[in-house]
Structure 1
Amino acid sequence: MNKIISLLIKQYKIIIIVIILLIIEAYFTLALPAYTANIVDICIKNADMPYIYDAGKSMIIATALALISLILTYFLAIRLTAKFAGDLRKNILSRALTFSNYELNEISKSSLITRTTHDVSNIQMFTRIFLTDILYAPILAVGGIINVIQLGIDLYWIVVLVLLLIIVLLVVILSKVLPKFGKLQKIRDSINRNAREMLTGTPIIKTFVRQDYERNKLKKTNTYFKDTEINTNKYYNLIPPTLTLVMSLMVVGIIFHGSFEVQNGTLLTGVLVAFIQYSTQITASIFPDFKCVGNAAKFYCFI
């Protein structure tokens, strides 16, 4: 694990630039709801068309700057992770060449093949998602929370309740999914081992007429892998629709309770709209983290 982190630390300059770009992107993204609130409360109410045009231009500029930051972030993250994966494969190869006979017997060749191909690719993907999504999520969430506090609305308890529900959902999904990734890793190694044995022992298999036996053995392993992966993805694929439902219920709750304050004149409509947008951004920042749960679990199993 320390060696993997040390390879990333070598690229610390690019990582710092990526973090700065993420902060810039979050800043301009969080600026949009404030413009929306002003348009609703000031421009529409007073029919101030010049202010609407100015606010619209500002929103277009903010969106463009956020988009440029996003493109640069992905460009740098992809270049960094590609170099990181190459260095990781070199280290694995260098380490494997120093193994003694005893170590080679302890670690199967099929497992080494899996580590240098599939596992490194997953680590590369996880690193890219970490730099572009996981780091961005807390930045966006913190900025959204600050803006929600500045609005001074007492409906924040709805957002807190939704976040608690999401945490409970995360714990439940992890308890079902996490143990299965280690099992999938072992089955994948078994498939690679069986395929390697069939390829290297083809003459012997033909000589002793063992084709049906080897075919059934590989079919049994493949079926077990398929059933395990389907069972794992069955829980994992529940995450997006469940989160969408929770976010929709949150918006409904905010509109329901906020409508009474708007009716009483204690809350402006534009401020309520901005609060809904900030709350949605805070909750939506959890989406990338959930998408990375599986990759993080796989990453943990690999190392």
Structure 2
Amino acid sequence: MLPRLLRTYLHPYTGLLVCVLVLQFAEVMASLYLPTLNADIIDKGVATGDTGYIWRMGAFMLGVSLAQGVCTVLATYLAARAAMSMGRDLRGEVFDRVSGFSEREISAFGAGSLITRNTNDVQQVQMLVMMSATMLVTAPFMALGGIFMAVTRAPGLSWLIGVSVPILLVAVGLIVGRMLPLFRSYQDRLDAINRVMREQLTGIRVIRAFVREGAETERFEGANTDIARVGERVGQLFVLLFPLVMLVLDVTIVGVIWFGGHQVGDGDVEVGTLIAFMSYLMQILMGIVMASFMTIMIPRAAVCAERISEVLATPPTITSSPDAVDTFPTPGTVEMRDVTFVYPDADARVLAEVSFTVQPGTTTAIVGSTAS
């Protein structure tokens, strides 16, 4: 559901997304180029005492950094514009569909759930688009580019990448896999707490009249406790992810310093190259970290997209006939013959074989929400 929803509502903003992709690619290329320039300054400037080379390359690095910053700002602005526009269109589409629902569809979804789907659920999808355009796009560029540059600069240390990256991917995959059902449960409980709150606000006079404040407080506390427990379990997995990533990162850095130090001592690797390799390794693992952060958002957004699609795919049961009579040239009589009314899935009919006539200038009403 999520890819189909994004494909449909992001299509008008393809141009903005293409510009974001180009700018993010330029930003990543600049980020990958900076460690190489830094290594050259160390190996060719600091090691040889060439102050002029240090100043020239330092000024060039500053220019590359400024270009990188400009690309980042423009990419973020365009990504935000595309994401917010998509969210606006999606909310409008859901609102239009819900506005045509009859009591049957509203009861099936629940008023609280419909409010959540048009606010929180749309916001989750909108946030996914925003973060994907700013982080998820750069993650593969940074990881793959970092691997290529690191292997090119120091082939003898590339085996450390082959060990740390798979370990990190497996750990992230296991944690994210456990989060998916929790996100679905969290959204259901968010529906429940919105439903309880809405019912209490709507029926506040009845609650006070029958002195039911205590019971309603306990009811809200139950729904509030349920969502808090699910949120705690999601948080426990979430806080486990980043320490695990940092542990793998730190152990890998220690390995680079240990084995790279021996190669520097043997003259196989220069100091600047070792520092550049460490920078590329940081970029590789940070790319994986950014991707892992996005994989946490994707399951929740997928659940929200499915819930939104359910609303958009539900046709109203009560629609106007193309040949319906909506104007009367002269006052006339409305007559009902053997009219029957029944609620969906009800065991018995509420009204059965009712016949009546409404004369001009008179009013006939069926009183009561249950047609009693």
TM range (shorter): over 0.9
Instruction: Provide the C-alpha distance between the structure 2 equivalents of 1:238 and 1:279, rounded to a whole number of angstroms.
Output: 22
Q: Which residue of the partner structure matches residue 258 of structure 2?
A: 256
Larger Rg belongs to: 2
Deviation at 1:291, TM superposition (A): 1.9
Instruction: Provide the C-alpha distance between the structure 2 equivalents of 1:46 and 1:4, rounded to a whole number of angstroms.
Output: 55
Letter in 2 for 1:131: A
Q: Which has the higher strand share?
A: 2
Q: Which residue of the partner structure matches residue 34 of structure 2?
A: 32
Letter in 2 for 1:175: G
Q: Secondary structure at the match of 2:155?
A: coil
Q: Which residue of the partner structure matches residue 217 of structure 1?
A: 219
Letter in 1 for 2:211: V
CA RMSD of aligned residues (A): 1.3
My pick for the range that moved more, 208-217 or 240-249, is: 240-249
Residues 223-243 of structure 1, C-alpha deviations (whole Å, 9 max, x = no match)? 121122112101101222221
Q: Secondary structure at the match of 2:217?
A: helix
My pick for the range that moved more, 258-267 or 53-62, is: 258-267
| Residues 18 and 77 in structure 1, CA contact (< 8 A), matched pair in contact too | yes
Alignment identity in percent? Answer: 28
Q: Which residue of the partner structure matches residue 111 of structure 2?
A: 109
Residues 107-162 of structure 1, C-alpha deviations (whole Å, 9 max, x = no match)? 11111100111111111111100000001100111211221232252211111211
Alpha-carbon spacing, 1:3–1:260, altered in 2? closer, same or farther (3 Å): closer
The unaligned stretches of length 5 or more in structure 1 are none
What does residue range 274-289 of structure 1 map to in structure 2 within 5 Å?
274-289=276-291
Q: Does 1:12 align with 2:22?
A: no
The unaligned stretches of length 5 or more in structure 2 are 307-372
Q: Which residue of the partner structure matches residue 57 of structure 2?
A: 55
Q: Secondary structure at the match of 1:176?
A: helix
Q: Normalising by structure 1, what TM-score?
A: 0.96
Q: Which residue of the partner structure matches residue 151 of structure 2?
A: 149
Q: Which has the higher contact order (CA 8 A, sep 6+)?
A: 1
Q: Which residue of the partner structure matches residue 23 of structure 2?
A: 21
Instruction: Provide the C-alpha distance between the structure 1 equivalents of 2:142 and 2:21, rounded to a whole number of angstroms.
Output: 12
What does residue range 264-275 of structure 1 map to in structure 2 within 5 Å?
264-275=266-277
What does residue range 65-214 of structure 1 map to in structure 2 within 5 Å?
65-214=67-216
Q: Normalising by structure 2, what TM-score?
A: 0.79
Instruction: Provide the C-alpha distance between the structure 2 equivalents of 1:152 and 1:268, rounded to a whole number of angstroms.
Output: 9
Deviation at 1:288, TM superposition (A): 1.6
Letter in 2 for 1:111: S
Q: Does 1:238 align with 2:240?
A: yes
Q: Secondary structure at the match of 1:238?
A: helix
| Residues 154 and 274 in structure 2, CA contact (< 8 A), matched pair in contact too | no
Residues 13-38 of structure 1, C-alpha deviations (whole Å, 9 max, x = no match)? 00000000001101111111111111
| Residues 168 and 245 in structure 2, CA contact (< 8 A), matched pair in contact too | yes
